[in-house]
Amino acid sequence: MKKNKIYNVQVRRKREGRTNYKKRIKMLISEKPRLVIRKSLKNIHADIVEFDQKGDKVLASAHSKELEKLGWKFSRGNLPAAYLVGLLAGKKAKAKGVQEAILDIGLNKSVKGSRLYAALSGVVDAGVNVPHDKSVLPAKERVQGEHIAKFAAEAKGNYKMQFSNYDRNGVDAADIKKYFNDIKSKIEAGKNG
């Protein structure tokens, strides 16, 4: 309940819980571009963003839908797809002359080995220097999708139900590592669709 006639209204994005301004100001003070990683259930998006008085300026961007143009037929929201999106964003950033950035995961929780850190791993492997603790990055086997292939092998009777989208796309979950390495080599060679 208000006691005075005069009171301050918080900024709309803060009221809605969409922006943590204390974290944002710390990132802006560094004057380095931000690696902004956002995820949804089916996609992942990575941007290299630079602050500008008129509004943030996107220097490089990659979305998991771009992987389909390269031949990715698996889920666009899984760990291998997140790594590939990070690698693609990192290659685009290097082409624009970005050498370093700082990580901005927004209001997402920091979970060790998550898709956010898989995308970070891809950006770092592309050659962009992003300060991080190596213990938060997912294992190389998980990045390549070996955990998905192992789960598919163990699913046996439930395979059709669990991997119906893969069947619809005409791929087998056991082949995910081969597809991953194929797409990774295309991105590293500069074939961005």
pLDDT computed for residue 135 by the predictor: 96
pTM: 0.88
Q: Please report, to the nearest 10 degrees, the dihedral formed by the alpha carbons of residues 63, 64, 66, 68 taken in order.
A: -170
Neighbours of 126 (CB within 10 A): 19
| Amino acid at residue number 19 | T
Edge-first strand listing for the sheet containing 102-104: 57-63, 44-50, 34-39, 102-104
Q: How far apart are CA 90 and CA 119, in angstroms?
A: 9
Q: Is 37 exposed, middle or buried (0-12, 13-18, 19+ CB in 10 A)?
A: buried
pLDDT computed for residue 141 by the predictor: 96
User: Could you tell me which CATH class the domain 17-189 is placed in?
Assistant: alpha beta
For 22-29, the CB contacts below 8 A with 24+ separation are: 27/102, 27/104
> Is-contact 20 107, C-beta < 8 A?
yes
The domain locations on the chain are 17-189
pLDDT beneath 70: ranges in the chain: 1-3, 192-193
Q: Residue 49: enclosing H or E segment and its boundaries? A: strand 44-50
SS3 category, 161: helix
pLDDT computed for residue 144 by the predictor: 96
> Is-contact 88 122, C-beta < 8 A?
yes
pLDDT computed for residue 120 by the predictor: 97
